[in-house]
Structure 1
Amino acid sequence: MDKSQFTPLQWLDHWAETTPNKVFLHQPVNRVVQTHTWSEVKNKVESIAASLHHLGFTKGDKIAILSKNCAEWLIADLAIMRAGMISVPIYPSANPDTIQYVLEHSEAKAAFIGKLDKWQDADVGVKGDVVRLSMGYETMPCQYDWRKLQTLVADDQALPIHAPDLDETISIIYTSGSTGNPKGAVISYRAFNWANSEIVSLLEMTDKDRMLSYLPLAHITERCFVEGVAYHANTTLYFTESLEFFVEDLKYANPTAFFSVPRLWSLFQKNIIDKIGNSKLNFLLSVPLVSSLIKRKIQKGLGLQDARLLACGSAPISPSILHWYHKIGLNVCEAWGMTENCIYAVGCFPFEEKLIGTIGRALPGCEIKTTDEGEMLFKSGGLFDGYYKNEEATKESFTEDGFFKTGDLAQIDPETGAITIIGRVKDNFKTAKGKFVSPVPIEKMLAQDPHIEMLCVLGSGMAAPVALVQLSEGASSLPREQVAASLKENLLSVNNHLESHERVGAVVVVSEPWTPENDVLTPTLKIKRHVLHKQFAERIEELKGHVILWESDL
């Protein structure tokens, strides 16, 4: 059989047979690393799968996973597959209402409950008859603990091997949409396998590679780029114990491939500049004999000295940050994908500096085109089957010739094939002047100011667009006059490159950080523009004579 079509279960059997003693998972607990070999993982998977059937769950039932990343997350996921059931991952940072909605909408019969920062809050969302299965960490009350699930069924009562058909559903992944309730994307084994196989081939992943799993496994990026790739390539996975030990655990893993989000790349940059100083760093990099030494020292300090592949996604990243990393010898490739296409779609692989500012080119096996209005359309073997219990949304999401409507506005360079995202169809707004504005390109230009951590441009029905800004940690401690001067200079520079109806009338520095907890960010740290519009629209609609001001002054 063509191994590119192996399911995760077939890979589990394959590696447990050919490399049984190879350590697959490294999980730190109380600063002691617990290891799991392929054979140990398989034994636990089969025991837990048998227990799921023993508890009365049957083929096709939905089983949720509510936990931060850990070795047990993958074991639970594989056990759900082995039992012929369907996983429904839930973000560990999800609020109780979202947890309840996903459990009820998916009709989940049970939920594996693992590492949670605030399990008392999450506990409120796990209602009804959902059976709680503990993953072995201190968490909410559960009916069955992790050890019990491994011993509930005797070894001589082995579960019949489930060999899923490729068209069966492997998982229902609820998108962390920036508007409305999340939609459940139905992912088949076929799509999941295809995407993972393509990723492994493109990135040349092997059993020599190491990855740190820390971005939410409830998100498609981590499910495919990390979990799925590990199954296909026999890659070794490491996990973090907590945010407190993130840097320590990253250095311990010493990954050869590392994927992150703009916020973390920006934080790494800030910490390096704060420690060395920007002027001093630029001078050291300009001295040939010293340059390579300082680059190596920085890379080792981050735990990325052996990283041959670095990537960024989830949200736009400032080109200046990518150029800065290139200058210190770390080539960060920007990539784009969606839950609906198993994240494999567009990327700057291999790295090319000239592609900075774009999301790269269509990856092998992917077809991309744009409509007359500029919306990007997509087709590949990794497309999802549709939205769970939402035929109308599914039908509206596809063209007659089978292309998925991404909702992103894009430009494709006819010569290089490089794709630039210029906004979201639903993000464009009309000002009081009756002119449409696309906020994303403006936000990317404003983001060049190092004092800015995050920003959001609003303007629907307003006299002129207004930028809401969350300051970086360092900028928050600086004198207001200094920060205001920098923001004003940046604003004037950006406005000089915009059409008159696009020009930002004011910048407002917000008082409270934007987080998933206060519902301004999604679990994947995307800004909910409609939430900020509701909070600020009336207060900032008629700002006159105040180019830069603080929210507290409104």
Structure 2
Amino acid sequence: ATRKYLVQVAEGREAAPEEGGAPSAGPVYRCAAGAGGASPPAVPGLESCWDIFRLSVEKYPGNPMMGRREIMDGKAGKYTWVTYKEVYDTVIKVGASIRSCGINKGGRCGIYGGNSPEWVVSMQACNAHGIYCVPLYDTLGAGAIEFILCHAEVEIAFVEEKKIGEVLKTLPNATKFLKTIVSFGKVSPDQKEKVEQNGLSIYSWSEFVLKGDGAEEKYELPPKEKADICTIMYTSGTTGDPKGVLISNKSIITIVSAVDEFLRNSNEQIREDDVYISYLPLAHIFDRVIEEVFIHHGASIGFWRGDVKLLVEDIGELKPTIFCAVPRVLDRIYGGTSR
């Protein structure tokens, strides 16, 4: 049988100049997977991105959520995992630490670095407290980091250890709003000195997690609604400065539901024993939403080492059951396997 991808939900119309000059219009089509509906069916209990994670922690507390390869003597070993409950406990501590810095619901938090467990923990801590997550990525250009920090009025930035130097270059200009920097790893004495000279605070990852330990009950999680902004993602800025796109909780949870609906109509589904490799940038909406889908189902996310030359090796060790890609990556993988 021929598969239908579109269904017609409205007839076309002829131009009606006598009714105010309404132009002609063709028929209206929608995706067949949604039975012609304007949006996929709502998922019970999902009002915000925080609910996606929170409900999965309740349902799958012992499931492995995030994994990375252990590096021993310079060599990558097997993936080691943390469970949904373990991630949740860290998220609550990091959220309390953010709040202790004076940042509340509606505040702006930058995240700058390659995909990692710390990236996701920082994002979930923002989700927990209704703080806008603002991803940063250096492919936007040298001046884009400073522009976004100032334009989005970022108050706290989580930064991959090797990228702290790029953030320091934005000082003192970014200090109008930026008050706290958190490294995903360690902080050198020189970095600490420069940051403090500009009136900011800087923490290593372990210091910041410890800062919120014991303060979790002091900061209640605020109510969150579908219409609330969840993240601000910036465009490439090819026609000028990068543009900030405001993305609501509703937008993301609707896409999560749409992916489920599409898979259902293809006789597929994501299960809790599925494994996904995280390598496409979390700073882009595509991978962000895909990872939300996997979290929604209590599945596992393994992170690559950040080097496309090692991606095939990471895939071989992780053995993901689902692989999302863009054409350029597939070309590189094909080139590597055909040599």
TM-score, length of structure 2 as denominator length = 0.74
Are residue 178 (structure 1) and residue 219 (structure 2) matched?
Answer: no
Are residue 239 (structure 1) and residue 300 (structure 2) matched?
Answer: no
Q: Deviations over 1:73-124 (max 9, x none)?
A: 11000001112210000114443300001111101111001254x5534531
SS of the equivalent of 2:323 reads strand
- List gaps (5 residues or longer) in structure 1: 275-554
| Amino acid corresponding to residue 182 of structure 2 in structure 1 | L
Give 1:258's aligned residue. 323
Distance 1:26 1:230, change over 3 A: same
Give 2:277's aligned residue. 212
In structure 2, how many angstroms separate the alpha carbons of the residues matched to 1:235 and 1:91? Answer: 26
Provide the alpha-carbon RMSD of the alignment: 2.3
Give 1:64's aligned residue. 110
| Amino acid corresponding to residue 237 of structure 1 in structure 2 | I
One of 289, 301, 314 as aligned partner of 1:224: 289
Residue pairs, 1:130-209, within 5 angstroms: 130=178, 131-136=180-185, 141=192, 143-155=202-214, 157-158=216-217, 159-203=219-263, 204-209=269-274
Q: Deviations over 1:463-501 (max 9, x none)?
A: xxxxxxxxxxxxxxxxxxxxxxxxxxxxxxxxxxxxxxx
Higher relative contact order (CA 8 A, sep 6+): 2
In structure 1, how many angstroms separate the alpha carbons of the residues matched to 2:80 and 2:138? Answer: 22
Give 2:21's aligned residue. none
One of 9, 16, 20 as aligned partner of 2:61: 20
Q: Is the 8 A contact 1:8 1:232 kept in 2?
A: no
Q: Is the 8 A contact 1:4 1:194 kept in 2?
A: no
Give 1:543's aligned residue. none
Distance 1:170 1:44, change over 3 A: same
Q: Deviations over 1:259-301 (max 9, x none)?
A: 2222221122233433xxxxxxxxxxxxxxxxxxxxxxxxxxx
In structure 2, how many angstroms separate the alpha carbons of the residues matched to 1:137 and 1:211? Answer: 28
Deviation at 1:239, TM superposition (A): 0.4
Q: Deviations over 1:333-390 (max 9, x none)?
A: xxxxxxxxxxxxxxxxxxxxxxxxxxxxxxxxxxxxxxxxxxxxxxxxxxxxxxxxxx
In structure 2, how many angstroms separate the alpha carbons of the residues matched to 1:218 and 1:165? Answer: 23
In structure 2, how many angstroms separate the alpha carbons of the residues matched to 1:219 and 1:59? Answer: 23
Are residue 108 (structure 1) and residue 157 (structure 2) matched?
Answer: no
Give 2:16's aligned residue. none
Distance 1:119 1:202, change over 3 A: same
Residue pairs, 1:91-102, within 5 angstroms: 91-102=137-148
Q: Is the 8 A contact 1:69 1:214 kept in 2?
A: yes
Residue pairs, 1:120-131, within 5 angstroms: 120-125=165-170, 127=172, 128-129=174-175, 130=178, 131=180
Look at both structures and tell me which one has the larger radius of gyration over its CA atoms: 1
Are residue 84 (structure 1) and residue 143 (structure 2) matched?
Answer: no
Distance 1:125 1:246, change over 3 A: farther
Distance 1:13 1:199, change over 3 A: same
Q: Is the 8 A contact 2:94 2:209 kept in 1?
A: yes
In structure 2, how many angstroms separate the alpha carbons of the residues matched to 1:126 and 1:224? Answer: 32
Q: Is the 8 A contact 1:27 1:238 kept in 2?
A: yes
Distance 1:253 1:154, change over 3 A: closer
TM-score, length of structure 1 as denominator length = 0.46
Residue pairs, 1:254-403, within 5 angstroms: 254-274=319-339
In structure 1, how many angstroms separate the alpha carbons of the residues matched to 2:148 and 2:85? Answer: 33
Distance 1:49 1:157, change over 3 A: closer
| Amino acid corresponding to residue 37 of structure 1 in structure 2 | T
Distance 1:230 1:178, change over 3 A: same
Deviation at 1:59, TM superposition (A): 1.5
SS of the equivalent of 2:305 reads coil
Give 2:46's aligned residue. 5
Distance 1:92 1:20, change over 3 A: farther
| Amino acid corresponding to residue 134 of structure 2 in structure 1 | V
Are residue 46 (structure 1) and residue 129 (structure 2) matched?
Answer: no
| Amino acid corresponding to residue 56 of structure 2 in structure 1 | W
In structure 1, how many angstroms separate the alpha carbons of the residues matched to 2:62 and 2:327? Answer: 37
Distance 1:156 1:220, change over 3 A: closer
Q: Deviations over 1:127-166 (max 9, x none)?
A: 5322211122678657112112222134265121233111
Equivalent pairs: percent with the same residue? 25
Q: Is the 8 A contact 1:103 1:126 kept in 2?
A: no
| Amino acid corresponding to residue 286 of structure 2 in structure 1 | T
* Number of residue-to-residue matches in the alignment: 272
Distance 1:53 1:184, change over 3 A: same
Q: Is the 8 A contact 2:47 2:224 kept in 1?
A: no
Residue pairs, 1:414-425, within 5 angstroms: none
Q: Is the 8 A contact 1:95 1:122 kept in 2?
A: no
- List gaps (5 residues or longer) in structure 2: 1-41, 193-200, 264-268
Distance 1:257 1:2, change over 3 A: closer
Q: Is the 8 A contact 1:200 1:232 kept in 2?
A: no
In structure 2, how many angstroms separate the alpha carbons of the residues matched to 1:99 and 1:47? Answer: 27
In structure 1, how many angstroms separate the alpha carbons of the residues matched to 2:325 and 2:138? Answer: 18
Distance 1:119 1:29, change over 3 A: farther
Deviation at 1:6, TM superposition (A): 4.5
